Amino acid sequence: METTFKVKVPYWAKDIKDEGLLTFIALNDRINRRYGFNQWYNFYVNDVHKILGNNTKLQRRLEPYYEDIRVAHPFSKEVQVKVPHVRKHDLVSVPITSHRQQLVWVYLLGCLNNNLLDEEHYGVRPPSSSALTNEDEHRIFKYYG
């Protein structure tokens, strides 16, 4: 039996069929809602490839959407992503049917959520034991701001 997840993405991404790209866009929306829109967020290239499910350059995949999401590659091992503010009511739910992408999404939620039961009450920072903040582990993203 095939299971379908739904992730929320900005309205401009609703017609994208690439589930890896949708997962990455949904992750960016969550990061921006928590830490702020219109800021550059750094991601390790290897982590981006793991989220996307292949090694195709992120810039090439997002090129048709540059009005809505910016991508820069200033360092060999990192990419930067910047998203303008999208109102919460401008999010749409899209299906994720790939089992691999569903596992990636669940992993990312576990890294991002310090309170899995109530999304409206985030802590000020992710928990210190998460892959996002532990200096001794490979982090999903770094924020310079």
pLDDT tens string 55-98: 777 778 888 888 888 888 888 888 889 988 888 889 999 999 99
Tell me if the pTM is above 0.85.
Answer: no
Domains identified in the chain, total number = 1
Token reading at 88 = 């919460």
Predicted pLDDT of residue 138? 40
In this prediction, residue 136 carries a pLDDT of 37
Backbone torsions φ then ψ of 47, nearest 5 degrees: -65, -40
Across the range 26-31, mean pLDDT stands at 92
Residues forming beta bridges with residue 57, ordered by sequence position: none
| Structure confidence at residue 134 (pLDDT) | 36
Nearest to 94 by CA among 3, 30, 8, 18: 8
What lies within 8 Å, CB to CB, of 82 at 6+ separation is 38, 39, 40, 41, 69, 70, 72
Over residues 2-24, the mean pLDDT reads 90
The number of beta carbons lying within 10 Å of the beta carbon of residue 52 is 21
Of 53-57, 86-90, 103-107, 115-119, the range with the lowest mean pLDDT is 115-119
Q: Which domain holds residue 18?
A: 5-143
The mean pLDDT value of the chain amounts to 78
Percent of the chain past pLDDT 70, that is, above it, reads 76
Please identify which residue in the block is written with the tokens 């903040």: 133
Question: Which tops the pLDDT comparison, 141 or 36?
Answer: 36
